[in-house]
Amino acid sequence: MPLSSYTMLFGFLLPLVLGFLLFRLTVSKNGEKMANNMNNLGLISPLNFEVALKALLAFAIILMMTTIATRTVGTMGVIGSSIVGGLVSAEAVIFTTFSLASANTISISTATMCALCTTLTAILNKLIFTKIAGADKKFIRSILWRVIIMILPALVVILL
């Protein structure tokens, strides 16, 4: 059953709005504490050559993986690779699936479904990375409900 344009719009925009509102709520509660923590992150400039090369490699690998999966397994292959690829780079997977759709390799409905699955995986993997980084259970539980609120609309659209 193909997804309607309104259903797809709901699946994309509602998590975006909910994520923004949750971020604003968190910043207003912990603004000063969060600003101090962000200063200690040691972020690297995205204009760095090494960062750009890693992003290019991720895009190329995901493009090849998704294309091969699509040609060998079909629609389920591209959906499966979009879920796995969402753990690495959601942007690369979304770019790849819509590139395949523009080449008429997959339908636009399948590309949209893949984008939603990738977004869902990309949001959920933050919990995994937080756990791996050694966060305590109390912290993980405190962000779990926010993640659930953000993924519910995408999950509903995927299940339709």
pLDDT in tens, 26-66: 655 555 555 555 455 555 565 667 777 787 788 888 888 88
Please tell me the distance from the alpha carbon of residue 59 to that of residue 71, in angstroms, as a whole number. 18
Number of H helices, E strands in the chain: 6, 0
Judge whether 116 and 12 are in contact, CB under 8 Å.
yes
Q: What is the pLDDT of residues 84-110, one digit of tens each?
A: 888 888 888 888 888 888 888 888 888
The neighbour count for residue 21, using CB atoms within 10 Å, is 13
What pLDDT shows up at residue 10?
61
Domain boundaries, the chain: 5-159
CA angle (45 as vertex; 91, 96 as ends), nearest 5: 15
Q: What band does 8 get if pLDDT is binned at 50, 70 and 90?
A: low
- The answer to whether the pTM exceeds 0.85 is no
Residue keyed to tokens 């290019």: 56
pLDDT tens, position by position, 124-145: 888 888 888 888 888 888 778 7
